[in-house]
Amino acid sequence: MRLLEIEKQISAPDAWNQPENLTPILQTKSSLENVKTRFSRLEEARADVEDWLGLAEEDQAQEALEHLSQSIERLRLLLERAEMEMLLSGEEDSLPAILDIHPGAGGTEAQDWAAMLLRMYLRWADKHGCACEYLNFQTGDEAGIKSVTLRVTGANTYGLLKGENGIHRLIRISPFDASGRRHTSFASVDVLPDAGQNISIRIDEGDLRIDVFRAGGSGGQHVNKTESAVRITHLPSGIVVQCQNEKSQHSNKDAAMSVLRARLYERELRKLEAEKKNRYQDKEAINFGSQIRTYTLQPYRLVKDHRTGTDETDVDAVLDGNLDKLIRDMLLHSHADTKQ
């Protein structure tokens, strides 16, 4: 059994002399333990259904029927989660995610929409037991945000969130328009796999321009009086990343380099994906920059994913982080594409 082999390997006397070499082994161990736990819960739920089914057949009392219904619902939810995890077969799906949100044109309207998306993903992460770390945060001029970068850590976070890549559109009566007119706002979401120091991307120091500056603050005692924020420009690709949320320049540089590695790694993945999609010219392209989803608040209420055709009428629930159906349908859609 692979888990037993790993236990022996990490229990060896010299195994922890170079802990960095154990990172992929520990990740495999965690993944296998998750699979084992998942199937144990499924087996337990199946046994509960069979037990209550037997009792309900003997005595159709309301209590037995209610317990049977609850057991069936629990098994259904566990099967859906197991299905989603089985769809996450990509090499990088188990990695943490780096999530970028940027408002489109439209000033305060778009910046407020970007803040709504940030709240949506934070609530999703909280519901799934994921940890979120701010790498960069810039507040809007009047409301909302100009940009935000998060590192989201948890089980299969990149695999679950990768389908959020693209342009998100909001249609609503603007709270910032005294005339009460309907506005359309756009914001881009970019999701990158974060392999940390393990990304095999070579970055030459000579290809980098590193600028330091004072991080923005809210005034008073919160103003950063030292140049601790770091902006890194990768000259060959033109990729620009920055981090200002740590107190020290060194920590901000490390965080910015982590984002840069992830962006360069993700760019290589996209090249491979583009080559693969060239074989399917008749299929709809799903690239960063495409409009993937519309959230309509007026004149009716609907969230529509334009790739899968999924409709959600409970817009408030979606904006409160209930994204599982949208994510599941996207995973099934992507899986079906790869099979054709």
Is the N-terminal amide bond of 24 cis, ω within 30° of 0?
no
DSSP 8-state code for residue 284: P
Is the entire prediction scored with pTM above 0.85?
no
The one-digit pLDDT tens for each residue of the chain (340 residues) are 678 888 888 888 887 777 766 777 776 777 777 778 878 889 999 999 999 898 888 877 888 888 899 999 999 988 887 887 778 877 788 888 999 999 998 789 999 999 999 999 999 999 988 999 998 899 988 889 999 999 999 888 999 999 999 999 999 998 888 787 888 999 999 998 886 655 567 788 889 999 988 776 544 443 455 678 899 999 999 999 998 887 788 888 888 888 888 888 878 777 766 654 553 343 333 333 468 999 999 999 999 999 999 999 999 999 999 999 999 999 988 877 665 5
Residue boundaries of the structural domains of the chain: 2-87, 97-192+284-339, 205-275
In 109-217, where do the E strands start and end? 131-139, 145-153, 166-173, 182-193, 208-213
Structure tokens at 335: 């899986």
The CATH code for residues 205-275 is 3.30.160.20
| Closest residue by Cα to residue 266 from 278, 258, 277 | 258
- 294: three-class secondary structure by DSSP: strand
Tell me the CATH architecture of domain 97-192+284-339: 2-Layer Sandwich (3.30)
- 248: three-class secondary structure by DSSP: coil
| Closest residue by Cα to residue 330 from 117, 160, 93 | 160
